[in-house]
Structures are given as C-alpha cells and as structure tokens.
Amino acid sequence: MSNSSKAQQITQIWHQVIRLYFKLQATGRDIGAVNTANGSTWGVLNTLVNHGPTTVPEIARMRPVSRQHIQTLANELVAEGLAEFAHNPRHRKSKLLQITDKGREQYNAQSEAMTEIAKTLMPDVPKSDLEATRRVLGALTDQLQENASADDPVDAPSSRIARRRMGMHAAFRRRHPKAD
C-alpha cells in the first residue's frame, strides 16, 4: 500500500472515530457518564479508581485537556459528593482529588450500563475483528502521543490546545478569506 493510500485510510479512520466520539458522548449523557457540559464524569472517576487520589494537574496531563477543564469537572464531582479534595503531603496548594463511596457506586453503575450497551452492539462481528480494531486504535493513539511528545517535550495540555486552536483558526481563514 502506498503512503498516499495509507494516509487516506488513516484519515477515513480519523473521521469515523470523530463520528463515533460524538455518538459515545450522546450515549454517555443518557447513562450519566457525561455531564451536560460534555465533561466526562465517568472518565475522571475512572482515573481516580485506577490511579487513586490524584491532583487536578496530574489528571489534566493524562488527558489532552486543560487543567481548568479538569478543575471544573472536579468541582462538579465534589459538589455532587462523588469526589472530595484531600490534603496532599507532596504539595502545599495542589490538593488530591479522591473518589467517595457515592462516587464509586456511580462509577460502578455507569460502567455496568456501558457493559450492558456494549453487549447489544455488533453481535455478528467476530471477536478477532474487534481485537484488531482495538490494536489499531491503540497503535494510532500511541503514535499520536509520541508525535505530540516529540513536538513538545513537556507535552503541556495548554501547548497542545494552543496548537489546536491555531490550526482551527487557520482552517477557518482558509474557508472564509477576507473580501477585498
């Protein structure tokens, strides 16, 4: 396969993943895993379940989002009693976010709802095809992470967001040139 043909295939996958992302967001809202501001309640709770008490900046670094976005989600989780801030012995100001019993119950319920939905999807697709899809998407994710790290050794979310915004503005200017 030529590089051009492979690039077209990857671009088509990219477009399909974007479409899938928005469908997943809508489904996530239906089961309470995504809040109305499109923040992933389940995603932050999942981070806390798998990594234990974590600071907001650490969570933001794990995801391609700003610290401010995670702070907003953390504040909402705390207000709902799903998480709480705790003293951080490693840092004076940056508190640890930790899941509460209520948060763990909601996380488990949302995870179970996801599993139930997943059981109904694509019953005729062989398990080997699903595994191949997972491997390809994982490899693509890893490659993009490597590229981001190479471009920005610190890999700061704010730098990635700024680059993305600059790209969006450039695309807008190409589509809407100023009339002379």
Summarised one tens digit per residue, pLDDT across range 45-95 is: 999 999 999 999 999 998 878 999 999 999 999 999 999 999 999 988 899
Q: Which sequence spans correspond to the domains of the chain? A: 124-180
In the chain, the percentage of residues whose pLDDT exceeds 70 is 81
Does this model's pTM top 0.85? My answer is no
pLDDT at position 3: 83
Weakest-pLDDT range from 30-34, 43-47, 86-90, 113-117: 30-34
In the chain, the percentage of residues whose pLDDT exceeds 90 is 59
CA distance 25 to 76: 18
Structure-token pair, residue 153: 């050794």
CA distance 97 to 55: 6
